[in-house]
Structure 1
Amino acid sequence: MTDITLPCIPLKQHGRSFFLLNMPAELVARISYAAIRGKDNEQGAVQRVLNSRRISKIKDFALSGGNFPNSIVMNWVEEGGLTYDALSNTISFAPKPQLAQLIDGQHRVAGLAEAMEAAEELKALDLPVAIYSNLTTQECADIFLAINTEQKPVHRSLVFDLYAIADEQMIDPAAARARDIALELSEGGAPYHGMIKFPGEAPRKGGVALSTVVTSIKPLIEKNGAFDQVALSTLENQSRVIINFFGALQNIYGELWFERQNAFMFAAGFSGALEFLSSRLLPYCVTKKSFRTEIIVDALSMTAEDLILQKEVSGKSGSEAQSYIFSRLDEVFDKGDVADEYDF
């Protein structure tokens, strides 16, 4: 089999040498494989069993024109099969299956392999590749852990904020809409004006992170979510319901609404309130055929003695605090006259 020669950059980090190079996706898929920990009895077996759902998502991402800028990391295991020429800074090898284990990128390679079957042009897609040679299992584990634990993903608030400028193919539509509602909630005169923490702002006590707002709103507005099931499908109607709900709470709290003692100015209060909106208040308002603020105020028969304060949830875990907020709202919820006899 004819050797392939590719330009490369030799590097060394902490005593380990490796090569960086550009390799077409078809070649990457042809020469690499995943050695599964606990299944394959060989040095360098650190990978997990492939996840078919993740592979399918990567396939769709590749077919939609997605980019793959992160390096595929390999451990070359073919003894004597890789030749480096220091004068030309090239490596040469005869391409065949199972020349190199995949230390990082096995799902990307598998997803691209499936995508190439549907779109042949992807075979020529340039991929950055890092190639180590003859690493031990411990060395492979060190590299795998460095990539998957030390190089932590960015904060979700930044991810959601970037949806405003990212290409459409990269965006989670429900999360992007939830971010739009978050912006409306934080506008002047809105119930959370100045209280939603966007990326780049100075840290402060109190207020709700954008990530919390988006992850709390998203289940309500995604396809087949709570709003969709009652025909609240437009951004305008969805945002109006949420703003009216928090506006009703703001009316009840009055001057205390923006104070730090108000539990709704913190993450658990916000999340617990939206859980209550989804499971209790939404069906109630549907039966009333109204989401007006005054209807919600009437349903929440809260007095000054009923206000939920942050000191009540202090010391509780996030999930405990959220459940407590839900329970306290449920206690003051006046469902009105509900039929207790049904015709079956």
Structure 2
Amino acid sequence: MAKRPSKQSGHKAGALSAQITVPAFEVKQGDVEFFVFKLLASRLWPMVSINRRSETEDRGYQRVLSNARVEAVANHIRAGRPLPNNVLIALDKATFDAQAGTLTIPAGKDIGWVIDGQHRIAGAHEAAGDEDIELCVFAFVGVDQEFQIEQFVTINREQKGVPTSLVYDLLSHLPSRKRPADVANERAAEIANQLRNDTKSPLSGRIVVTQSPGKGQISITNFVRKVAPLVHPDRGALKVFTLPEQEQIIANYFSALKDTFSEQWAKADNIFLRTVGFGAMMNMFEEIFAIVLSAQRGFTVPDIKEVLKGMAHFDFSQWSLIGSGNKAEMEAAQEFRTDFNRSRAAAPSGKRIRL
């Protein structure tokens, strides 16, 4: 079996060591013809190539492969659920025998290119060790890259996603199909998309979806990882709030951090938007949220800044030296917590935060 799919950019080279012949049928639409056949995921992924878009050069057209999406597809298949969508590829060379009803694909490298469905193919291949499913493949033969890009753009520009609000409304009818953790992830992703697209949000343009985050940015995967537990429908600290309220709470929190630690926020490599800093401050969120609500009876930006003002001196420089991962985030959060508790204890009695 080929190497497990992983998040990657650039060209993914596929290869076929020996030619294969598969049952197929021809479909004609106007002046265009394509072929339909089925192939096991364990055979399809290794043979196809992916021409991914370069961030620095004018070449390629596919997005970066997302590990989270691949794993979601794989888990869907492992759970015994069907994946009825077709995938669309372009074969450089293939011959169709109309009398036999077969399509022969010759051996070689870069013999087939994925136009639509890279995450489905990769996820199905990921699950193949447990359940190797057949995928329905639509294949053009002998088409150039311009034609491939045209198909890719048409598919991705014209398709309309179901509104998330409708998905949430329908989830109650599928209790065995949608886990609370899935609902939390979807809700966190919706909050991320709202905040990154809202020009008034402190995270406007700061959350990236299709590429690796640069300085002053975080990935949507990282955002969802830390926010989903807060909006978990069973146990999240923000579960009782509506979606707009949850969005506003998160926005207010980061606006207050931006104002309180303005010098740090202004840096190109903003510590709050690095994995360790974002993780640490999200680890602190529930504590700060509870204290602000108790002391200020609200969670507006001024409310949060009033509670955090004693921390304006905090030195974040050490956070750059402790690495990344959950352990580093917990260590950074504990440093902040210790200083935070010290500053609260030292506050004048007349201004002491009420607990």
Amino acid at match of 1:109: I
Matches for 1:273-312 after TM superposition, within 5 Å: 282-283=290-291, 299=297
Instruction: Read off the aligned partner of 1:75 and give its amino acid letter.
Output: A
The partner residue of 1:164 within 150, 172, 176 is 172
* Unaligned stretches of 5+ residues in structure 2: 1-16, 188-223, 254-284, 306-343
- 1:169: how far off? 5.2
Map Cα deviations across residues 112-132 of structure 1 (whole Å, 9 max, x no partner): 33332x42x41xx12111100
Tell me, yes or no, if structure 1 residue 73 matches structure 2 residue 81.
no
In structure 2, do the counterparts of structure 1 residues 74 and 178 end up closer, same or farther at CA, with 3 Å as the change threshold? closer
Structure 1 residues 285 and 269: CA distance shift in structure 2, 3 A: closer
The amino acid across from 1:7 in the alignment is P
Tell me whether 1:19 sits opposite 2:35 in the alignment: yes
Measured in 1, the distance between the counterparts of 2:244 and 2:33 equals 48
Aligned equivalents of 2:84 and 2:143: distance in 1? 24
Q: Relative to 1, partners in 2 of residues 1:45 and 1:87: Cα closer, same or farther, differing over 3 Å?
A: farther
Deviations 1:243-283 (A, max 9, x none): 9xxxxxxxxxxxxxxxxxxxxxxx86785479779888743
Structure 1 counterpart of 2:151: 143
Alpha-carbon shift at residue 73 of structure 1 (Å)? 0.7
Q: Structure 2: which amino acid aligns with 1:150?
A: E
TM-score (norm 2): 0.49
**Among 110, 122, 128, which residue is 1:98 paired with?**
110
Instruction: Supply the AA of the counterpart residue of 2:35.
Output: F
**Offset at residue 74 of structure 1 (A):** 0.6
Q: CA deviation at 1:285?
A: 5.5
Q: 1:72·1:105 contact (CA, 8 Å) conserved in 2?
A: yes
- Once the two structures are TM-superposed, the CA of residue 12 in structure 1 deviates from its matched residue by 2.8
AA aligned opposite 1:12: K
1:34 aligns with 2:55: no
8 Å CA contact 1:221–1:233 kept in 2: the answer is: no
Q: Do 1:174 and 1:222's aligned partners in 2 also have CA atoms closer than 8 Å?
A: no
Report the counterpart of residue 318 of structure 1 in structure 2.
none
Q: CA deviation at 1:160?
A: 1.5
TM-score if structure 1 supplies the norm length? 0.50
- Conserved 8 A contact 1:76-1:100: yes
Q: How does 1:228-243 map to 2 (within 5 A)?
A: 234=235, 242=241
**Which letter does structure 1 place at the counterpart of 2:157?**
T
Identity among equivalent positions (%) equals: 22
**CA 1:145/1:177 → structure 2, altered by over 3 Å: closer, same or farther?**
closer
Instruction: Give the secondary-structure state (helix, strand or coil) at the position aligned to 1:65.
Output: coil
Note the residue ranges of structure 1 that are not aligned, 5 or more in a row.
180-217, 244-266, 288-295, 301-324, 332-337
Find out whether 1:89 has 2:105 as its counterpart. Answer: no
Q: Distance in 2 between matches of 1:9 and 1:62?
A: 26
Q: 2:139 aligns with which of 131, 134, 139?
A: 131
Distance in 2 of aligned mates of 1:156 and 1:92: 42
Counterpart of 1:36, as a letter, is R
Q: Is the 8 A contact 1:22 1:126 kept in 2?
A: yes
Q: Does residue 76 of structure 2 align to residue 61 of structure 1? A: yes
| Residues 292 and 303, structure 2, Cα contact 8 Å, conserved in 1 | no
Alpha-carbon distance in structure 1 between the residues aligned to 2:292 and 2:303: 14
CA distance in 1, matches of 2:147, 2:68: 29
Distance 1:271 1:59 in 2: 30
Task: Decide whether the 8 Å contact of 1:174 with 1:221 is kept in 2.
Answer: no
Contact (CA 8 Å) 1:276, 1:329: kept in 2 or not?
Answer: no
Q: Displacement, 1:9? A: 3.3
Number of the residue aligned with 2:122: 110
* Alpha-carbon displacement from aligned partner over 1:92-124 (angstroms, at most 9, x marks no partner): 3356653211111222222333332x42x41xx
Aligned residues: 226
Structure 1 moving runs of 4+ over 6 Å:
176-179, 218-221, 273-281, 328-331
Q: Does 1:50 align with 2:65?
A: yes
Code of the residue aligned with 2:110 in structure 1: it is Q
Do 1:31 and 1:99's aligned partners in 2 also have CA atoms closer than 8 Å?
A: yes
Give RMSD over aligned pairs.
4.7
Report the structure number with the largest CA radius of gyration: 1
